[in-house]
A = this chain, B = another copy of it.
Amino acid sequence: MPAQRRIEQLETPAVLVDLDAVERNISRMRSYCAAHALELRPHVKTHKIPWIAHMQLEGAVGIASQKLTEAGVMADAGIEQIRLTFPLVGEVKWSRAARLAARTSLSVVGDSAIVAQGLSAALSPGCTVGFLVECDIGRWRTGVQSPEQALALAQEVVRLPNLRFAGLMTHPAPDASQAWFSAARELFARAGVELPAISVGGTPTAFETHKRVPAATELRVGTYVYGDRACLSNGVYELDDCALRVRATVVSRPTSTQMILDAGSKTLTNDSAEGVHDDLFGLILEYPQARLVQLSEEHGHVELPSASDRPAVGETVTILPNHACAVTNLHDRVILHRAGVVDRQIEIAARGAVR
């Protein structure tokens, strides 16, 4: 039997995933959704790995995916229930979606008639795709602006061949969501348009969904599988639940209060931790008072709380990144471990899937 390899021995920078934590996180969300009769739809954008998507599918209705290429990787791995949560615009995208729909059970989202009409025209006769109307409830991103606009687009979808109106969706689900969706329910009922589902998203508020948005029927969550500094800071996750970490090495101690790590924006991204306003780029677990104040592409710039020889050049540390999904997009592989013992290395098959 080969000797066990521990994560402390890995060359840095290295992206690690604690499999025990992943299993706990998946189980917790599954239990929550079951307890509150919410359909669970894990969003694969966080990990981008079919093997983990399959772990998440037990007790789930299917996956959410952001892009066609990402969805294609999941379909290639045998995943059939796929919801695309980014609007498809343009002939190439509609053709690609039609090909994906021919081999999966596909649903999509959109906030304009162009998206619905283009996809409808591209689909082969007999191939039906679910269409959810995206609603903007304070995120200021994609989405119709009112229940009235949602109804108008839903009615257009109902008219179009090859599409099935599949409900309303939003991300995230702010407090105003319940009133918004209640108004929509009433409006749709008056118009005689069936409203089959209301899908909300986002890990930070996930476990409050039954209280905050009782109208919701489906929960789309991505980050819950890994956790990150945003999840930790907003109190939804304990540190032990945060499965994704980055191991880094101290490569320079230019002064007694500064150190430089070999993990910069190419390893961690310059993303902030959503909802955290300290302008830091991660939490250094062994030195929680040290401040990761700036990233160059390869350098992590750290300010120490006071002059010290520790950590010395060559010491390794563990970083909890601000934003898990963005980290996995940078790397070709992650290393899975249990209690620090390396289990395997696994390809992030849908990394870089921007189209």
Residues of B within 8 A of A269 (CB): 265, 269-270
Q: Are B331 and A330 in contact (CB under 8 A)?
A: no
A133 in contact (CB, < 8 A): no
A136 in contact (CB, < 8 A): yes
Q: Are A142 and B252 in contact (CB under 8 A)?
A: yes
* Smallest CB gap from A295: residue in B: B271
* Smallest CB gap from A351: residue in B: B352
Alpha-carbon distance A160/B45, docked complex (angstroms): 49
Give the distance to chain B from A201, nearest Cβ to Cβ, in Å.
12
* Smallest CB gap from A114: residue in B: B313
A-B pairs, top 8 by smallest CB distance, nearest first, are: A142-B252, A270-B270, A11-B92, A89-B251, A87-B251, A114-B313, A267-B354, A266-B354
Alpha-carbon distance A115/B314, docked complex (angstroms): 9
Bitwise interface map of A from 247 to 288 toward B, beta carbon under 8 Å scored 1, else 0: 001111111001010110111011110000000000000000
Instruction: Classify the interface of chain A: helix, strand, loop or mixed.
Output: loop
Q: How many copies does the complex hold?
A: 2
Q: Are A111 and B252 in contact (CB under 8 A)?
A: yes
A145 in contact (CB, < 8 A): yes
Q: Are A331 and B352 in contact (CB under 8 A)?
A: yes
Give the distance to chain B from A244, nearest Cβ to Cβ, in Å.
15
A211 in contact (CB, < 8 A): no
Restricting to A101-144, which residues have a CB under 8 Å from any CB of B? 111-112, 114-115, 136, 140-144
A180 in contact (CB, < 8 A): no
Alpha-carbon distance A303/B250, docked complex (angstroms): 41
Alpha-carbon distance A269/B266, docked complex (angstroms): 10
Give the distance to chain B from A62, nearest Cβ to Cβ, in Å.
19
Residues of B within 8 A of A254 (CB): 111, 136, 140-145
Alpha-carbon distance A296/B354, docked complex (angstroms): 12
A297 in contact (CB, < 8 A): yes
Q: Are A297 and B12 in contact (CB under 8 A)?
A: no
Q: Are B142 and A86 in contact (CB under 8 A)?
A: no
A13 in contact (CB, < 8 A): yes
* Smallest CB gap from A136: residue in B: B254
Alpha-carbon distance A141/B293, docked complex (angstroms): 12
A58 in contact (CB, < 8 A): no
Q: Are A89 and B314 in contact (CB under 8 A)?
A: yes
Give the distance to chain B from A318, nearest Cβ to Cβ, in Å.
16
Residues of B within 8 A of A258 (CB): 140
Residues of B within 8 A of A89 (CB): 249-251, 262, 313-314
A326 in contact (CB, < 8 A): yes
Q: Are A112 and B11 in contact (CB under 8 A)?
A: no
Alpha-carbon distance A255/B12, docked complex (angstroms): 46
Bitwise interface map of A from 11 to 37 toward B, beta carbon under 8 Å scored 1, else 0: 111000000000000000000000000
Residues of B within 8 A of A267 (CB): 354
Additional A-B contact list (20), CB under 8 Å, known A140-B301, A141-B301? A11-B355, A86-B299, A111-B252, A114-B313, A115-B251, A115-B313, A141-B254, A141-B296, A142-B252, A142-B260, A143-B252, A144-B254, A145-B254, A266-B329, A270-B271, A297-B326, A329-B330, A330-B352, A331-B354, A332-B352
